[in-house]
Each structure stands twice: as structure tokens, then as C-alpha cells.
């Protein structure tokens, strides 16, 4: 997910969301906003909100470690740059270890 956020906390999330693999992609010094990305899980379509044209709204939450690992693994599979692929694979291993730790088990 990508979104513009007010940057009052130096790049930290004001609402506590969008923290999984959070990356600041751009900064606007005039509006004091940052364009950030993070891995989320879509829970459902929000039928209460209507957008203009073809815009749809969704209820989301930050991804759990195993969900983030799945997304990063898919990205690593198709990454052509070997250095970036290694970095993604390392991140996948980290997320899998976090998932196992959350379940009270050591990573194997």
C-alpha cells in the first residue's frame, strides 16, 4: 500500500499503521508530507465509502510476519537484480523467524 502522510514524527507513522517493511519513497518539504509504502493485508471492501469514478476503498491492517514473508518471497522470485534478490531473501528469512517467534517456536 502507498499513501501520503503528514510528517510530524520524522517519517514515523502517526496512526501506528503501515509499519511492515515501511519505506519512505518521497518527501514534500512544502506540505510536510511523506509518501510511504508498507505491506498490508486487505480485510474487505469498504462499501460505506464511495470514491470518484472507479475508486474503491478497502479496510486493511498491517500484515502479519508470515503474510509479509509471502509477499517478499514472491517479489524475490521475480527480481532480476541478484543483489536485490539476496536482500529480499534475507528479509524473507527475517519475517519467517518473526512468525515462528510469535508462535513460540524457534525458526528451523
Q: Round the average pLDDT of the chain to a whole number and report it.
A: 84
Average pLDDT over residues 61-83: 86
Q: Are 98 and 67 in contact (CB under 8 A)?
A: no
What are the residue ranges of helices labelled H in 10-81? 65-78
Statement: the pTM of the whole predicted model exceeds 0.75? no
Check the CA dihedral 87-89-91-97 and report its sign.
negative
pLDDT of 107 = 53
Torsion angle, alpha carbons of 24, 29, 30, 31, to 10? 30
Confidence of residue 12 (pLDDT cuts 50, 70, 90): confident
Average pLDDT over residues 2-13: 84
- Contacts within 8 Å (CB) and 24+ apart, 40-43: 40/1, 41/67
pLDDT of 102 = 75
Amino acid at each position: 500500500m502507498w499513501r501520503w502522510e503528514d510528517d510530524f514524527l520524522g517519517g514515523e507513522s502517526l496512526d501506528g499503521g503501515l509499519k511492515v517493511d515501511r519505506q519512505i519513497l518521497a518527501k514534500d518539504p512544502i506540505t510536510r508530507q511523506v509518501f510511504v509504502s508498507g505491506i498490508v493485508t486487505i480485510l474487505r471492501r469498504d462499501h460505506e465509502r464511495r470514491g470518484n469514478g472507479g475508486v474503491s476503498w478497502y479496510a486493511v491492517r498491517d500484515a502479519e510476519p508470515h503474510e509479509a514473508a509471502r509477499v517478499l518471497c514472491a517479489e524475490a522470485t521475480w527480481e532480476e537484480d541478484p543483489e536485490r534478490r539476496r536482500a529480499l531473501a534475507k528479509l524473507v528469512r527475517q519475517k519467517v523467524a518473526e512468525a515462528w517467534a510469535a508462535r513460540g517456536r524457534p525458526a528451523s
